[in-house]
Structure 1
């Protein structure tokens, strides 16, 4: 089941929320749509889920218009809104019937889906008694109830405390084995943990579409981070004069050494340290983190 977003633009009066956006997602992928607040992520998720119409462009699922394929889509909004007086079972039964599911089928599938999202034992508890994390898990349950081929999640963990976030991330990590997922977020650590592919959005435009490994490798630097157990000013001055060392940044006993060729020079630098009996606590390639790369892209561009 392939998702294709083709040249989608969405305008609100004079404001362009999504600007000529295109993406293709293949079956089984878990893709993270990341960007700062106001980048157009929620608008894009609503267009893909057919809640909102684009000003121009189209969305296809398996080559068909998204409006004809809604039964294949599961949608989790940032803040799932349920009737507080309903129980978990009643909520899913109501949602299932809205999706056209058979009553007999729902009686069988609801206990299974509640178990899958960690809500076994809460079947008859009212939604009003649920924590934020429990409501989010119930939201995932309703998104999964009709066994969709594609699940869209809008900021699924941004409003949760650390415990609730961990619970929901574990569930997403489990369900991505069985379905295609597109989730939006501005919490980079969460996306880095569960998504293999990243699409970065700024001002409604796609500015990057790559794998996690590809992005990190492309932004790697010829720098080595070294932490020493004690002060070795003599060795630091020595390496500053090595032909392959371009720069040395010193903070306490921590160094960041820029070299000409990381593959060749990292071994040479380590051998030099051992030769001079330098006591090393840490020796690692100093690649930029995802957060550092993200900030450069959305702030500096």
Structure 2
């Protein structure tokens, strides 16, 4: 396993920030670590990287225990913290040379990293002249300099505009082709766009661990519909792929279907065939967003 977390608990005084958290991540996975603000995501990432110690439990990265082999762990991890720490008065290339010297990385590697993260046109600029999107690229370049096996990215897309979001997503997917990536966010769309799997944390506890392909495959479709007349349940139950039907108020129904196909035309056909008019209809897929609401509300 690239990452193995066993019964991690973290206390700050009397406050329990993490409560017996356990999970494993295989080599080559891109895993979204999803949860509301204050759920414990950043705290766990700091424990994984050795920046802070857990109160209880143990963490292994590439089979090294963080508590006993901290240097080996940090050598195998590339870390982009939530608040990307940069020396903004330095030039991009100068800053990367400075970090390369710390890791004893040959200078010849720097142009390769600059090209990989898409900084070629910005490499001659000072960091304080860059947009937030390009500053994130600089942070990612530093995380990749020593060619780590594991990337830990804490809220890497916060504050980016839509174009920058697309660029950073693509970059994370690209570098994730040959590395294990743990990607923290509270934005569902980011996980769906980038990750293979999602681990959902709430109030310091893991509340869900799902493969995204399976989650999408097993999506349920929910349609809320209001007819102009009250109808009996036996008629509603003739609609195909219907998993459940809940008569919420007189002529209004909540219909749950076990198919990915858009069932709105089928509901319209049902109404027409039975001489009914539809006064209101809304539809949604029971996807990651509804899973998030279900486990964090």
Q: TM-score, normalised by structure 2?
A: 0.82
Q: In structure 2, what is the equivalent of residue 75 of structure 1?
A: 79
- Offset of 1:99 from its aligned partner? 1.9
Q: Alignment RMSD, CA only? A: 3.1
Alignment partner, residue 50 of structure 1: 50
Correspondence list, 1:1-301, <5 A: 2-66=2-66, 67=70, 68-101=72-105, 105-106=106-107, 108-215=108-215, 220=220, 223-224=222-223, 233=228, 242=235, 244=237, 246-247=245-246, 258=255, 262=258, 272=270, 286-299=284-297
Q: In 2 relative to 1, CA 22–274 (structure 1 residues): closer, same or farther, beyond 3 Å?
A: same
The CA deviation at 1:22 is 1.0
- Deviation (angstroms), 1:268: 7.9
> Secondary structure at 2:57's aligned position in 1?
strand
CA positional deviation for 1:113: 1.0
- The Cα offsets for residues 148-184 of structure 1, whole Å up to 9 and x where unpaired, read as 1000000001122222222211111211112110011
- Structure 1 CA distance for aligned equivalents of residues 123 and 285 of structure 2: 47
Residues 56, 238 of structure 1: CA spacing in aligned structure 2 closer, same or farther, 3 A cutoff? closer
C-alpha deviation, 1:287, in angstroms? 2.7
Query: CA offset at residue 63 of structure 1?
Result: 2.0
**8 Å contact from structure 2 (residues 119, 134) kept in 1:** yes
Question: Are residues 166 and 274 of structure 1, via their aligned partners in 2, closer, same or farther at CA, if it must alter by over 3 Å?
Answer: same
- Residues 30-62 of structure 1 show CA distances to partners (whole Å, capped at 9, x for unaligned) of 001111111110010011011111112111123
Alpha-carbon distance in structure 2 between the residues aligned to 1:3 and 1:54:
15
Structure 1: distance between partners of 2:266 and 2:131 = 55
Shift in Å, 1:289 = 3.2
Partner deviation per Cα, 1:158-212 (whole Å, 9 max, x = no partner): 1222222222111112111121100110011111111111111111111111112
Please report the TM-score for the alignment, with normalisation by the length of structure 1: 0.81
* Shift, 1:9, TM fit: 1.3
User: Which structure 1 segments of 5+ residues have no match?
Assistant: none
Distance 1:274 1:111 in 2: 65
Alignment length, in residue pairs?
A: 279
Specify whether residues 3 and 271 from structure 1 end up closer, same or farther in structure 2 by C-alpha distance, changes over 3 A only.
Answer: same
Structure-1 separation of matches of 2:125 and 2:275: 65
In structure 1, the residue corresponding to 2:122 is in which secondary structure? coil
Distance 2:148 2:103 in 1: 11
Rounded to whole Å, the distance in 2 between the matches of 1:112 and 1:277 is 67
